[in-house]
Chains A and B, each alone.
Chain A
C-alpha cells in the first residue's frame, strides 16, 4: 500500500492502495466515479478511456502508480463548467442531437477519445475522426452518427 496523489477533473485526489491497482478500479471503486466503464479489461474496447495529461489511455491498463502527480480527466469532468449551468458541453450536446449515443456504455470512452482529438486541433475530416476513435468499440450505432457528431463540433459552421 502506498499513497498516490493526482488531480481528477480538477480536484485533488489521494488514495492508499497497492501501486498495481488499475486506474479503472481506483476511479470506479475508490473515488466513486462510475462514469468510466469496463468492457473487456484488456485494452481492446476503449470503454474505460480517460485522459491522462491530455492523452487518451485505457484506464484498465494503467496502474495507479503511473498516475501519481498527473492529471486525470474522466467523463464526469467533461462538462464541469457546463453542468453548473445545467447543460451539456458542445461535444455532449452534439452526441445528443445526432443520436450518437444509443446504449451509452461506450459513450464515456468515446467522448474522451473525441475530446482529445478535438483538443489536439482535429478537424471535421471523416478519416481522421475514424482514426481517432478506432480504439473505441461501439456495437450499437455503426459509428455513422458518432462521426457526424464529432465532425459537427470540429466545424460548427456547418
Chain B
C-alpha cells in the first residue's frame, strides 16, 4: 500500500475552477495490515478460529425450531387454514394472524404488509407467510408441515409492472426546457434497458432466535443490519415497550441490504412462536427458503431519450424509470427515489426530465440491495453514453470528459455541486491506470483483422486464437452519500462515546458489523481522536438495551454519518476530561478522571449539515449532502463461438472522501465490484407465474474465484467538509459502475450492445446474429434530429 500525500503533478481543470486536490491511494504494492500501520480486523481472530458466534451457533437450552407455512399461489384469497384432524397437534405450536396481539403489520414505509396473512385476507405473492409451526425437533416439523393446508380462492395476478395500476411511488424532476433542448440537438438517441432481480446472496442465511423475557417481553438474537428497525416492528405488532422488545445483533454473515427490512418479519415470526410456546424458538432459514421468500434488487425498465450536439455535448435528457416493487411496498419509494436521482448519470445537462414510478406486482417484495436503485439506472445511463459515443465516433472517454460534472454545476434537482466533485479525477485515474485508449486501439485493430478474415459474425465455428475476442470498457458513476433528501434529519441518530467509571473507553452505536469493518474503524477513529492505542477502545454490543438508536447500517452511512458523530463525541469527551485535569493530556488523565468523577458519557445527536437543504414536497434542492465518484475499466475476453464472457481485469477507482482504513476500504471496493460483475454476466433470477424458478445455489449462480477478475483498486479522496473526517462512504459506490463497464467491454469485443442484464451467452449470441430473444426488446431506435 502506497499512501501518497503528494498529488500527481498533472493539472486537472474544470469548466469553472481547479477541482479539489485528492489524495490517491494506489495499492500497486500490497503491504499487509499490520505492516501498513492500520488496526487489524477486531473480530478477525474469532472469525478465523471458528470461535465467532453467528446466530445459528448460539445454544439456548430447551429451544424449539420454527418454520413458516407459505402460500403456493401468487394471488389468492385465504379462506381457511386447516390442521389435519388425524394428526396430534398437542406437542407442537401453530401460530397464525389470530395470535398477533398488536397490529398485523410489518412496515418500512407503508402499512401494507401483514406479519401473517389473516383468514379472509389476500395472499399477494408466492411464498408469502401464512402460518408458523414450532416443535421440539426438526423431524417432527418435517412430518407435520404437510398436514397444514391452506384453503384459498384464486385471484387474477399481475406480473408486468407496466400493466399494474397500483403505484407505490411516483416522482418527476426537471430542469430547463426539454423540448427546447431536443430542438437544439444534432442527434437524438433512444434506448430501452432492462435489468432483472438480483439476490444479495449473503453466505449466512437469515437467522433469528427469539427468547421470551421475564418482563413479558422478548429478546431477539439475530443476523441483521438494523437493530432499531426490528425493535420498532416488535413494539407495534406485539404491543411491547421498547425495553420489552430487546434486539441483539449477533455476528452477521453478510447483509448487502438483504438484512435491512426482512429481519423485522422474521423476528416477529420467531417471537410469535416463542411467546406461544413459552420457550426460545430458533428460525434459521435454509438457502432455498431464503432465496424464495426474501427481498431482491428491484427489476427495472429504463427508457432514455438523449439529445446531443455533433460535438457530443448533452443538451437534453428525458428518462423514464419503471421499477417492479413486488407485492408490498417495503422500501420501494426510497429505492425508486435514489434510482431516479442517479438516472442521468454523473453528467451535466441543461434540459432534463426524469420520471420514475414503481408499481405493485404479485411477485415477492423487492427491497434494499447495495446501490439501492442506482445500479439499475446508472447502467442505463452509461449504456446511453456509450451508444452516443459510438454514433458520433468519439472515444467513450472523450465523450465523458465533455459532459462530466465539475464544481458548481447544477444537478437535475437544482443542487449546485459546491464541493467534493471528483468525476474528472476518477475518470483520468482509471484511464491512465488501464491504458484505456491504447488498449482500445489494439482491440479495434484485432476486431478489424477478424472482420477482414470473414469470421465475424459468420456463425461458423472458429478455432485458434481468433475464437477469443478481447474488449475493454469504461464506465463512470456517482453515488449520493448517506440518506436521500431529509432522511438523516428525520432519523436524528445518536452515537455515544463513554469513559466508564472503571476507566474503560467505549463506543456505543447501533451500527452492526457484517463484514464491512464497523467494529474496527469506530474504535480506530475514537482512538485517533483521544490519542490512545486502538486496543484501549471497546465497541459495545449492538444491543438495544445498551446502545441508543444511531440509525440503520445502510446507505453507506456508517462511517460517513455515524462515524462523524463518534468523532464529535470523542472530541467532547477529550475536552471535558482535559478541562477537568487542567491540561493533562487525555491519555494520561482519563483513568484518574474516571476514579474521581465516575463515568462520563457523550451522546452526540446528528445535526443537519450546514447549508444542505432539500424540499421533500417539490423534490428540489440538495438531494445528498455530497456524492462519491467512481470509474471502472473492465477488460474481457469473449468466446465468439459460445459467447462465454471472461472478465479478466477491472480497474476500480473510487472517491470515498476520506480513506479511514485502506485495507477495509479496498475490501469494500473489491467485493462490490465482483457483485457488479455478477450482475453484468451471470446473476439472473428466472421468474414464472410470480415464482422464482432458480431458488437455490445450484441454479442461481454467483461468481467463484475462477470467475472473478483481477481487481485493482485506486482510492481517491475528495473530502466532504460537512463531516468532521471528510468521509463520504464506500459500500455502494463500486456496485454502480462495474456492470456497465463490463457490458461496454463486451461491445468492444463483439460489436453488439446488450441492453438487458445480465449479458448472458444467450443474449450475446442472439445479438450477434441480429435477433433478440422472443419477447425481449433488444433493438433500439435511433433517429437523427430533423
A interface residues, Cβ below 8 angstroms from B: 28, 32-42, 44-45, 47, 74-76, 78-79, 83, 88, 92, 94-99, 101-108, 111, 126, 129-131, 133-148, 152
Q: Which of B450-485 contact A (CB under 8 A)?
A: none
Closest chain A CB from B63 CB (angstroms): 12
With A104-B251, A104-B253 as known contacts, state yes or no: A142 contacts B674, CB within 8 Å: yes
Q: List the 7 closest A-B pairs by CB distance, nearest first.
A: A35-B50, A105-B253, A103-B515, A104-B47, A142-B670, A102-B515, A97-B32
Q: What B residues does A95 contact at CB under 8 A?
A: 44, 48
User: At the interface, yes or no: B57 with Cβ under 8 Å from chain A?
Assistant: yes
Q: Quick one: CB contact mask for B659-695 with A, threshold 8 Å, 1 for yes?
A: 0000110110011111100000000000000000000
Is A101 a contact partner of B203 (Cβ separation < 8 A)?
A: no
Is A39 a contact partner of B670 (Cβ separation < 8 A)?
A: no
Closest chain B CB from A17 CB (angstroms): 12
Is A145 a contact partner of B670 (Cβ separation < 8 A)?
A: yes
Q: Tell me the number of A-to-B contacts counted with CB atoms below 8 Å.
A: 178
Question: What are 27 residue pairs bridging A and B, where the CB atoms are less than 8 Å apart in the complex?
Answer: A28-B57, A34-B54, A35-B50, A37-B203, A44-B698, A97-B35, A98-B33, A98-B663, A99-B666, A101-B47, A103-B255, A104-B43, A105-B253, A106-B203, A133-B705, A134-B705, A137-B203, A137-B702, A139-B671, A139-B675, A141-B671, A142-B670, A142-B672, A144-B670, A144-B708, A145-B667, A146-B705
Closest chain A CB from B558 CB (angstroms): 14
Q: What B residues does A74 contact at CB under 8 A?
A: 50
| CA gap between A50 and B468 in the complex, in Å | 38
| CA gap between A39 and B710 in the complex, in Å | 25
Identify which of A37, A41, A104 contacts B515 (C-beta below 8 A): A104
| CA gap between A36 and B35 in the complex, in Å | 30
| CA gap between A146 and B704 in the complex, in Å | 12
| CA gap between A43 and B56 in the complex, in Å | 19
Q: What B residues does A145 contact at CB under 8 A?
A: 663, 666-667, 670
With A130-B706, A148-B30 as known contacts, state yes or no: A139 contacts B203, CB within 8 Å: yes
Q: What A residues does B697 contact at CB under 8 A?
A: 39-40, 42, 44-45, 137
> How many B residues have CB within 8 A of the partner chain?
60
B interface residues, Cβ below 8 angstroms from A: 30, 32-35, 40-41, 43-54, 56-57, 59, 200-205, 251-256, 286-287, 514-517, 663-664, 666-667, 670-675, 696-698, 702, 704-706, 708, 710-711
Is B49 a contact partner of A101 (Cβ separation < 8 A)?
A: no
| CA gap between A38 and B704 in the complex, in Å | 17
| CA gap between A8 and B253 in the complex, in Å | 25
| CA gap between A102 and B667 in the complex, in Å | 8
Q: What B residues does A42 contact at CB under 8 A?
A: 287, 696-698
Is A92 a contact partner of B49 (Cβ separation < 8 A)?
A: yes
Closest to B678 in A: A139
Closest chain B CB from A100 CB (angstroms): 9
| CA gap between A129 and B705 in the complex, in Å | 9
| CA gap between A18 and B516 in the complex, in Å | 40
Closest chain B CB from A22 CB (angstroms): 12
Is B34 a contact partner of A97 (Cβ separation < 8 A)?
A: yes
Is B52 a contact partner of A104 (Cβ separation < 8 A)?
A: yes
Is B50 a contact partner of A144 (Cβ separation < 8 A)?
A: no
Closest chain A CB from B281 CB (angstroms): 17
Is A101 a contact partner of B705 (Cβ separation < 8 A)?
A: no
Is A99 a contact partner of B704 (Cβ separation < 8 A)?
A: no
Closest chain B CB from A154 CB (angstroms): 15
Q: What B residues does A44 contact at CB under 8 A?
A: 696-698
Closest to B255 in A: A103
Closest to B291 in A: A40
| CA gap between A135 and B704 in the complex, in Å | 7
| CA gap between A149 and B776 in the complex, in Å | 44
Is B705 a contact partner of A107 (Cβ separation < 8 A)?
A: no
Known interface pairs A34-B50, A44-B697, A92-B45; 10 further A-B residue pairs with C-beta atoms within 8 A, sorted by A's residue number? A36-B50, A41-B286, A88-B45, A88-B49, A95-B44, A99-B33, A99-B41, A102-B516, A102-B667, A146-B705
Identify which of A35, A99, A129 contacts B49 (C-beta below 8 A): A35
Is A144 a contact partner of B49 (Cβ separation < 8 A)?
A: no
